[in-house]
Amino acid sequence: MGFSETVSDSAFTRVPPSSSSEIGKQEQYALALSTAEMTGTAGITDWLPDFLRGRATEGNCAPSPLYDHALDIASRFYHDQSAVEKLRDFKAKFNCEIKTDDDAVNYANEALQVFGDPYTKVLNKKQADELRSAIQGETEVSGIGINIGMQKNERTGGVSYPIVSGVFPGTPAERAGLKPGDIIMQVGDQSTKDMALQQVQLLVTGEPGSRTQLKIDRDGKWLDVFVVRQKMEVPAIVHQRFGDVQYARLINFMNDKTDTSLKDVISQNPDAKAFIVDLRGNPGGRVEEMIETVGLLMKKGKLYTEETRTPLGLVSQTVELSENRVKAVRPGALFNATGERNQYMLNGRPLVVLVDEYSASASELLAGAVRGNDAGLLVGSRTFGKGVGQALVPIDNGTMVAVTNTKFINPGGGWAGDGNSNRLGIEPNITVAQENGTLFLSAADKQFQRALSEARRMAGGGALIESPAPAPDSVPAPSERVPLTPRFREFAPTVPFFQRFQEFDQLRRGGQQIPQYRQFQTQPAIPADSYRPPAVPYITPPPRDYIPPPRDDVPQQPVVRKPYGNF
């Protein structure tokens, strides 16, 4: 499907991008993995822990290539490498139980639970195809029109159940009376207790015109809701004008329509004196799309710092906006990557950003950038607390591994959290408590009403008014906050992986020898109109006079000095 990308050199040829605008936009990203061969890595198996090299057998049962491959990927790129050793006991544990690809996916997910990370998992072919469609901008679905997360608290008896985090306007869910905060206890005749979000989504979606029954818990009362599925276009944004203030709610950052839709709204309202951007219920998505979107709202400033696990170690870079470019600054690098950005469109007009406990991942990056650079006012409640990103790695037979490999630090140096047991979130400038299930933009929507009041005040020349910082003992402990895991399709592909990496794997798994060292090759010129900000860290090239040290386990090859290419 053209889901992978390459950086061309003499050893690999460029793969033409698919017709998807997503792939076309990202084709020129230089990835850390693409430099693994060029920086002197002997072979892909050297990146693995000793206990994951080779294939073990147990009980005289052959290992599953898909299962082995999934665990290899997770162990190679998981951000916290101290947890990888826990996979040792699962290397060959399920050899005799795995008969099909679905078995391999299920048992791999069981093994990956040792990380204690709900975002690192293997997606089967159907789930992976849906995720690819979402990333490539295919927004038409047959369902009921809700966003779902996970809830685990005293209301659910301490176990996980899906919760409605958002209801799209004009959809069957809205007509049936579903509200944010409704806990889905049952779909049809199947309990959703501890059910993965992927499975919940498969139960809720279906053929257009078919009917499904949801049993929900609303404030302790159980209700039966019957909903007829229909085909619908999931909007990128929902917008409305309130006098001199323009409102825009961003649904997610999964495809490339969010920034273009917001750009259209801003350009069509040149007389608006202030803007409200609503991130409530936004579970995140692609970091690249967040960068394109925040460029419309911020003139310049630091966006975030990321620490990304690559086969060569942990690599750090800071992404910043200048007035005309976006750049990734790497400590000690010989050069820093830059790219074009969306131009700032507010022209000094006030900005208010609405957030709540369901604003997660890329939404928190945008909120953190706005607050950290004093580019606007945050109103609402503390955000979800997911400051980590996942790499999406296509593997065997259409399946895919999502592995947490990146940690994001906000401009002020704070971390939103791991989205699981350690969720800190981002505190808004003005905190406004609000009950679950409140209809957005209604008179009862206290958060919106306060945001509208602040936007009008700021448009009249008033100064920003921040609420006092909460006392340390007033900040809820992670265990006291309502857990909510964003939908599976919201894995942020902060590190796209492409064909070169797959070819490395094919060589390794086929038993072929990979050359120990390669010289850097000249890269093709990058057209200015197709380049986009880097999505991953770059690897700093070695000095010009660098000669790799000898190794006892690999026959030495002569090193030919050549001039560096065009970087």
For position 158, what pLDDT does the model report? 65
For position 32, what pLDDT does the model report? 30
Query: 3-state class of 115 per DSSP?
Result: helix
For position 199, what pLDDT does the model report? 73
Calculate the alpha carbon distances from 81 to 75, 422, 427 in Å: 7, 18, 30
Q: Do residue 144 and residue 199 come from a single domain?
A: yes
For position 62, what pLDDT does the model report? 82
Most confident of 168-177, 193-202, 493-502: 168-177
- The percentage of the chain sitting over the pLDDT mark of 90, rounded to a whole number, equals 36
Q: Do residue 246 and residue 229 come from a single domain?
A: no
For position 335, what pLDDT does the model report? 79
For position 83, what pLDDT does the model report? 87
Between vectors from CA 124 to CA 101 and to CA 256, what angle results, nearest 5°? 155
- The percentage of the chain sitting over the pLDDT mark of 70, rounded to a whole number, equals 67
Domain membership of residue 156 (yes or no) is yes
For position 118, what pLDDT does the model report? 86
Greater confidence, 523 or 385? Answer: 385
Written as six digits, the tokens of 125 are 């072919």
Q: Do residue 162 and residue 288 come from a single domain?
A: no
Q: Do residue 451 and residue 376 come from a single domain?
A: yes
Q: Which of 458, 486, 514 is the last residue of a domain?
A: 486
For position 156, what pLDDT does the model report? 59
The residue range of the domain holding 475 is 237-299+345-387+412-486
Greater confidence, 436 or 519? Answer: 436
Query: 3-state class of 301 per DSSP?
Result: strand
- Please tell me the pTM assigned to this model: 0.66
**How much is the average pLDDT of 227-235?**
84
With a cut of 80, say whether residue 7 has pLDDT above it.
no
Neighbouring residues of 444: CB distance < 8 A, sequence distance ≥ 6 = 438
Query: 3-state class of 312 per DSSP?
Result: coil
Most confident of 204-208, 294-298, 545-549: 294-298
The dihedral over CA atoms of 74, 75, 81, 84, expressed in degrees to the nearest 10, equals 110
Domain membership of residue 181 (yes or no) is yes
With a cut of 50, say whether residue 46 has pLDDT above it.
no
Written as six digits, the tokens of 240 are 């409305």
Rounded Cα distance between 42 and 312, Å, is 11
Dihedral class, residue 548 (left if φ above 0, else alpha if ψ from -120 to 50, else beta): beta
Written as six digits, the tokens of 543 are 């000095």
Rounded Cα distance between 446 and 429, Å, is 15
Q: Do residue 223 and residue 270 come from a single domain?
A: no
Q: Do residue 279 and residue 382 come from a single domain?
A: yes
Q: How many Cβ atoms sit within 10 Å of the Cβ of residue 497?
A: 25
For position 139, what pLDDT does the model report? 57
With a cut of 60, say whether residue 31 has pLDDT above it.
no
Neighbouring residues of 338: CB distance < 8 A, sequence distance ≥ 6 = 325, 326, 327, 328
Between vectors from CA 141 to CA 438 and to CA 239, what angle results, nearest 5°? 45
Rounded Cα distance between 437 and 180, Å, is 4
What order do you get walking across the sheet with 245-250 strand by strand?
237-242, 245-250, 274-278, 351-355, 377-380, 430-431
Q: What CATH number did the domain enclosing 220 receive?
A: 2.30.42.10
Domain membership of residue 539 (yes or no) is no
Count of alpha carbons within 13 angstroms of residue 436, beta-carbon side: 18
Among candidates 435, 445, 276, 294, which has minimal Cα distance to 363?
A: 294
pLDDT digits (tens, 9 = 90+) for 530-539: 444 444 444 4
Domain membership of residue 522 (yes or no) is no
Rounded Cα distance between 181 and 442, Å, is 16
Domain membership of residue 211 (yes or no) is yes
For position 15, what pLDDT does the model report? 29
Calculate the alpha carbon distances from 442 to 245, 386, 447 in Å: 16, 28, 10
Q: What CATH number did the domain enclosing 259 receive?
A: 3.90.226.10
Question: How many domains are contained in the chain?
Answer: 2
Amino acid (one-letter) located at 84: V
Written as six digits, the tokens of 436 are 């679950």
**How much is the average pLDDT of 252-269?**
91
pLDDT digits (tens, 9 = 90+) for 490-525: 333 333 334 444 444 555 555 554 443 333 333 444
Q: Which of 486, 501, 521 is the last residue of a domain?
A: 486
For position 40, what pLDDT does the model report? 31
**How much is the average pLDDT of 394-419?**
92
For position 438, what pLDDT does the model report? 76
Q: Do residue 361 and residue 416 come from a single domain?
A: yes
**How much is the average pLDDT of 175-183?**
87
Between vectors from CA 361 to CA 6 and to CA 400, what angle results, nearest 5°? 45
Q: What are phi and psi of 258, to 5 degrees?
A: -65, -50
Q: Do residue 192 and residue 273 come from a single domain?
A: no
What residues form DSSP beta bridges with 392?
402
**How much is the average pLDDT of 473-480?**
43
Query: 3-state class of 3 per DSSP?
Result: coil
Written as six digits, the tokens of 300 are 């310049």
User: Would you say the C-alpha torsion 528, 530, 536, 540 has a positive or negative sign?
Assistant: negative
Domain membership of residue 23 (yes or no) is no
Is the distance from CB of 256 to CB of 290 less than 8 angstroms? Answer: no
Task: For helices 65-77 and 101-112, give the axis angle rounded to 10 degrees.
Answer: 30
For position 548, what pLDDT does the model report? 54
CA 381 from chain center: how many Å? 21
Rounded Cα distance between 12 and 500, Å, is 7
Neighbouring residues of 539: CB distance < 8 A, sequence distance ≥ 6 = 32, 35, 36, 39, 310, 312, 315
What residues form DSSP beta bridges with 184?
216
Q: Do residue 244 and residue 287 come from a single domain?
A: yes
Greater confidence, 25 or 196? Answer: 196
pLDDT digits (tens, 9 = 90+) for 304-340: 999 999 888 899 999 999 989 999 999 887 778 888 9
Q: Which of 429, 455, 486 is the last residue of a domain?
A: 486
Q: Do residue 175 and residue 223 come from a single domain?
A: yes
Q: Do residue 255 and residue 286 come from a single domain?
A: yes
With a cut of 90, say whether residue 1 has pLDDT above it.
no
Among all chains, which residue has been given the structure tokens 């957005």? 440
Rounded Cα distance between 319 and 302, Å, is 6
Domain membership of residue 197 (yes or no) is yes
> Mean pLDDT over all residues of the chain?
75
Q: Do residue 282 and residue 188 come from a single domain?
A: no
User: Would you say the C-alpha torsion 454, 458, 461, 464 has a positive or negative sign?
Assistant: positive
Domain membership of residue 101 (yes or no) is no
